[in-house]
Chains A and B, each alone.
Chain A
Amino acid sequence: KAGVTQTPRYLIKTRGQQVTLSCSPISGHRSVSWYQQTPGQGLQFLFEYFSETQRNKGNFPGRFSGRQFSNSRSEMNVSTLELGDSALYLCASSNNVGLAGNTGELFFGEGSRLTVL
Chain B
Amino acid sequence: AQKVTQAQTEISVVEKEDVTLDCVYETRDTTYYLFWYKQPPSGELVFLIRRNSFDEQNEISGRYSWNFQKSTSSFNFTITASQVVDSAVYFCALSSGGGADGLTFGKGTHLIIQP
Contact = CB atoms under 8 A, between A and B. Distances in A.
Interface of A: 3-4, 33, 35, 42-46, 48, 55-56, 58, 88, 90, 92, 97-111, 113
Given A88-B43, A90-B45, A106 B103 contact: yes
Given A43-B91, A110-B42, A100 B102 contact: no
Given A48-B102, A98-B99, A110-B42, A104 B91 contact: no
A65 to B, nearest CB: 16
B100 interface: yes
Contact of B47 (A100, A107, A111, A113): A107
Interface of B: 33, 35, 37, 42-47, 50, 91, 93, 95, 97-108
Contact of A108 (B45, B95, B98, B102): B45
A56 B47 contact: no
B101 A58 contact: yes
B99 A101 contact: yes
Contacts of B45: 90, 92, 106, 108
A109 B45 CA distance: 7
30 contacts: A4-B44, A33-B102, A42-B108, A45-B101, A45-B103, A45-B104, A48-B99, A55-B100, A56-B99, A56-B100, A56-B102, A58-B101, A88-B43, A90-B43, A90-B45, A92-B45, A97-B99, A98-B99, A100-B97, A100-B98, A100-B99, A101-B97, A101-B98, A101-B99, A102-B99, A106-B45, A106-B103, A107-B47, A110-B42, A110-B43
A93 to B, nearest CB: 12
A11 to B, nearest CB: 14
